[in-house]
Amino acid sequence: MTRTTATDVDAVTDAVLTASRLLVAVSARSISAAGDLITLPQFRLLVILHTRGPLKHAALAEHLAVNPSTATRMVDRLIAVEMVHREHNPSSRREITLELTPEGARMVRQVTARRRKEIAKIVSKMPESARTGMVEVLGAFAEAGGEPPAETTLEAIWS
């Protein structure tokens, strides 16, 4: 019989899966506070544009892990509510780039602030000993998944 350890892939996966349920609930609540304007997948699209800057449709679809037609439908809905702007690349008219509008950036900041506040409440309830090492561990987890740090924005990248 094998003993489960803190480094066992299955045990860590189960712990992350359990934590992800809580984080999805926090995410859903933070977005629902924004009204019926956007869905969780649409918010993810806004965050990608917020952290990575203007992207071509294909690159955006790849970051979202969806097919290009799904990304196009999502973009169309976000254009309709003036959160994303689509324009032809001046150097190549065949290329279309997508970028966040000021309203889209405002939405990302607003939802992220609500999410941050709720997560901070949860973290503050944890014993200090349990928080030890979390920054390093969660940072490594996010990096392994290709997610830029939460404080990463275009302003931070270009400053």
Q: Which residues contact 79 (CB under 8 A, 6 or more apart)?
A: 85, 86
Residue 40 sits in a domain of what CATH number?
A: 1.10.10.10
First to last CA, the chain: 54
Q: How far apart are CA 8 and CA 68, in angstroms?
A: 37
| Domain count across the chain | 1
The residue segments making up the domain with residue 84 are: 18-158
On whether residue 96 sits in a domain, the answer given is yes
38, part of any domain: yes
Residue 83 lies in a domain: yes
Residue 11, in any domain of the structure: no
If 0-12 CB within 10 Å is exposed, 13-18 middle and 19+ buried, where does residue 60 land? Answer: buried
How far, in Å, are 9, 32, 52, 75, 102 from residue 44 at the CA level? 27, 14, 12, 11, 16
From first to last of its 159 residues, the chain has per-residue pLDDT tens of: 455 666 788 888 898 899 999 999 998 889 987 778 899 899 999 999 999 999 999 999 999 999 999 999 999 999 999 999 999 877 777 888 999 999 999 999 999 999 999 999 999 999 999 898 898 988 888 899 888 887 655 444 333
Examine residue 5 and state whether it is found in any structural domain, yes or no.
no
- What CA–CA distance (Å, rounded) separates 26 from 154? 25
**What is the pTM for the complete model shown?**
0.79
pLDDT value, residue 157: 39
